[in-house]
Structures are given as C-alpha cells and as structure tokens.
C-alpha cells in the first residue's frame, strides 16, 4: 500500500511544525509549505528525513502571489503523485484597527487565511477524492467572537469557518472537511506580541486557567484525520475560552 501523504501550509514553524512531527510519527510522508522560513523548513525536513529517509519534501510559495498559488497544488501532487490530507495552517496575524487599516493589509490577511485555503482545496480536490482524503482548516475561536483591533483577521477566519462547512457539503461523500479553532496556544509575535500582563489576562479568561501547547493542536489534527464519521465540524481547542462569560 502506498504511503499516505499530508500537505501542511505554514509547516516549518510553530504549530505547523508540531503538526508535521505528529503526522510524520504516524507514518505520513509530508510536503511542507513555507514562505520566508526557509532555514526552519530545511532544518525540520532534515531532522524528519533522518528518522525516515525521503519522507519529507518542502515547497516555497508566497500565498499572496496569485501566480504562485495557482501552481502550488500541482507542485504538491508532483511530489508523490497522491494526497491524503490537506492541512490549511498558514496564517498572517496582526492588528488592523478600523481607522488605520489598509488595502494591502486586507489582501494579505484575507489571502493567507481564506483565499489560499479555498483555492488549494479546489486544486487538490480530485486527488483527495481519489484517496477518500481529508481537509483540516486551522480557524480560530475569534471566527465567532471578534477580536478587538483585529477586524480583518476576524473576518477572514469567520470566512474560513464557513468555507469549512461549505466544502464539507461540496466534497462529500469522498472528502471530509473539518476545522480546528485554537485558543491561546502559542503567543503571537512581532506587531501582535503581548505583554506579560496581557498574556495573564488571556489565560484568566480560559476555564482551565492555562495556555495550551502546539502538541494539543497536532493531536486534534490527528484525531480528525482518523475519525471517518466526522465532517463539517469545528473543534475548539481553547481551554474553554470560548465558553468564558
């Protein structure tokens, strides 16, 4: 039997890398997408290939570039001539206050969080149908409860949630489509970085009073990839934050 293949966008760092390690441990061959994180992608691929030779390939693509995005799906299939699991993980995240946000910010946040997952799903649908495959979209609890100061990001993730439900209908019965809505798992970086006080405030608004781990998301991806009677669902992995009143 041919080795199952998973494609992970944004698979070089942070949550994407944890998903990659979990799936690789379960026997998947991997195609890892990266944009600017070339060194991290090469290091991760080298480490996983050392465990199982010729099991990981990496592909660079700027998901904001329409021409690059248009050919990414075929490049994925060219790696092993099959696909069993698509994990739409790549995401831009930074504040865009309403009075100062720009067209460029709109394009970047919508492209990475919504447009790229949609068109990759379209490009790879036939291969996934052939393998009775799975699409898993990394959404956010803020798809349902908008994050103040982040309207474009919240809009994009709300769209990704509806895309998950819509594609579950469009691609049934051959392909299952589900989503994961993380809460506080890894703290944001750069322009979105939080102070220690802000981090404690976020943790205080979870029922479990702690942040999660990247491995929690990776295990959720594995669960949804294996459960053959679940589709069109959004699994919150948020320590109960979405229930906090």
Residues forming the active site: 153
Q: How many CB atoms lie within 10 A of CB 69?
A: 18
> β-strands 56-60, 85-88: how paired?
unpaired
Name the residue among 222, 235, 237 with its Cα closest to residue 23: 222
> β-strands 134-138, 176-182: how paired?
parallel
> Residue ranges of the alpha helices (H) in the chain?
14-25, 38-51, 66-80, 103-110, 116-130, 151-171, 196-204, 214-226
d(C-alpha 212, C-alpha 221), whole Å: 15
d(C-alpha 175, C-alpha 169), whole Å: 9
- Cα Rg, the chain, nearest whole Å: 17
Residue 141 per-residue DSSP state: G
Q: How many CB atoms lie within 10 A of CB 230?
A: 15
In degrees rounded to 5, what are phi and psi of residue 8?
A: -120, 120
């Amino acid at each position: 039997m041919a080795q199952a293949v998973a494609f992970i966008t944004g698979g070089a760092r942070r949550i994407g890398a944890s998903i990659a390690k979990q799936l690789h441990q379960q026997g998947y061959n991997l195609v890892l997408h990266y944009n600017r994180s070339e060194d991290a992608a090469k290091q991760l691929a080298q480490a996983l290939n050392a465990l199982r030779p010729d099991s990981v390939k990496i592909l660079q693509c700027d998901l904001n570039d329409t021409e690059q995005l248009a050919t990414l799906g075929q490049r994925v299939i060219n790696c092993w001539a099959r696909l069993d699991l698509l994990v739409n993980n790549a995401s831009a995240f930074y504040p865009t206050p309403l009075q100062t946000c720009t067209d460029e910010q709109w394009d970047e946040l919508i492209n990475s969080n919504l447009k790229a997952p949609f068109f990759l799903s379209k490009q790879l649908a036939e291969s996934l149908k052939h393998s009775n495959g799975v699409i898993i979209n990394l959404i956010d609890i803020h798809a349902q409860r908008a994050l103040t100061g982040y309207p474009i990001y919240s809009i994009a993730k709300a769209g990704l949630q509806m895309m998950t439900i819509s594609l579950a209908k469009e691609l049934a019965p051959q392909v299952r489509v589900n989503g994961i809505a993380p809460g506080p798992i890894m703290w944001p970086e750069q322009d979105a970085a939080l102070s220690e006080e802000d981090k404690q405030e976020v943790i205080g608004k979870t029922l479990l009073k702690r942040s999660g781990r990247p491995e929690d998301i990776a295990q959720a991806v594995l669960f949804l990839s294996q459960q053959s009677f679940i589709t069109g669902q959004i699994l919150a992995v948020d320590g109960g934050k979405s229930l906090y009143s």
